[in-house]
Amino acid sequence: MRPGKRLRAYAARVCSEKTMERLIDPVIADLQAEYAAATDIRRRWLALLGGYIAFAKVSVWCGLVGLREARRNWSAEDRQGLLNTLWLSGCAIVIVSVPLWLLELPTTRDLLESMRDTEFPPTTSVQRMMFYLVPAILPLSVPVGLAMGIALTATGRALSRRLIAAIVLVALVTSAVSVMILGWITPATNQLYREAIVGEYVTKGDRELTLPQLNRLVQPDVRARLGVPPDRYRSFVFEFHHRLGFAIAPLTFCAFALVLPLRRRAKRATGVAAVGVAGVGYLMMRWLGEALSVSDSVPPQLGAWIPQLALLLTTIVVGIPRTINRRRA
């Protein structure tokens, strides 16, 4: 099969005729022409890579233009669909967050109790400690809750392109907020949590470093200058990539939730359950990735991205039967 044919078919579903003619087709034509002209496998791969990157850039541009047009032609049904998604997602986020948050309560209480008999007993309260833990819960509970809201709204009804674009935009904004939380807020509250227990300044660990700090530490020249040991360096790299992966989790979970209604006989309860299972699976993959990374079985970068890759693969597997059915039809 010629490269780009499937991409074009996907684009044709969401793009207008004019956009296809002016933007998508020329990019695909370039990709195919370069691929055909490539004399060896290396050039073919380069042609594919260049073509796919160009396609991604054009797609982002089309998405932005589509959103601008969608805002103009917003129907009452779409508006209601978006409001439902936001409302249900908000409820789901709270429902997912609270149990996850309460799971930390026994540990926190035990920690405080164990420190009471020491030379410097903590002066903080359990409530304050639990408050410090809220940002650490959000990066997982928000994508899962958002996906549940989407699954509840999307299952059993046909979503218009405008509504899908708006939902993706919500996921993008959530992703940007996640970057802030994971990059700056969680490290700060983690550090406050640790200092509250000990009662004085504690040296920052991997999870207490901000994203820019981690980014500097994973640079090879900085590593050489500071003489960071290999296992510590692996830990920094894993933490950095893990946070990046977590930051785009709203997008991957959103994609997963949008694909779920494509399955025949999809029901709301099944969709929500599937998102819940995906959330648990995501956490398990995260532990697996960390274990593999710590044991040096896989590069820390790969270990950190295992949950995202697993979720993306699942999304593709769930979406493929529909694609095949359409092609047969």
Q: What residue ranges bind other proteins (CB under 8 A)?
A: 2, 4, 8, 22-23, 25-30, 32-36, 50, 53-54, 56-58, 61
CA separation for the pair 48, 55 (Å, rounded) = 10
Smaller CB distance to other proteins: residue 34 or 195? 34
Dig out the tokens for 22 from the structure: 């002016």
Give the up-direction half-sphere exposure of residue 200: CA atoms within 13 A in the CB hemisphere. 3
Q: How far apart are CA 163 and CA 55, in angstroms?
A: 23
Min dist CB 173 to other proteins, Å, is 23
CB atoms within 10 A of CB 309: 14
For residue 18, give every residue at least 6 positions away whose Cβ sits within 8 Å of its Cβ, in sequence order, or none.
Answer: none
Residue 22 or 109: which CB sits closer to other proteins?
22
Residue 38 Cβ vs other proteins, minimum distance, rounded to whole Å: 10
Strand, coil or helix: what is 141?
A: helix
* 268, two tokens: 């709301």
What is the closest distance, in whole angstroms, from the C-beta atom of residue 69 to other proteins in the complex? 15
Contacts of residue 132, Cβ cutoff 8 Å, sequence gap at least 6:
189, 190, 192, 193, 196
In whole angstroms, the minimum distance from the beta carbon of 20 to other proteins comes to 10
Cβ nearer to other proteins, comparing 27 with 140: 27
Contacts of 4 (CB under 8 A, 6+ apart): 28, 31, 32, 51, 55
Closer to other proteins by Cβ: residue 24 or 96:
24
Q: Residue 37 Cβ, how far from other proteins at the closest point, in Å?
A: 8
Torsion of CA 300, 301, 303, 306, to 10 degrees: 180
| Residue 1 vs 329, nearer CB to other proteins | 1
Q: Which C-beta is closer to other proteins: that of 54 or that of 228?
A: 54
As measured in angstroms, the least distance from the Cβ of 7 to other proteins is: 11
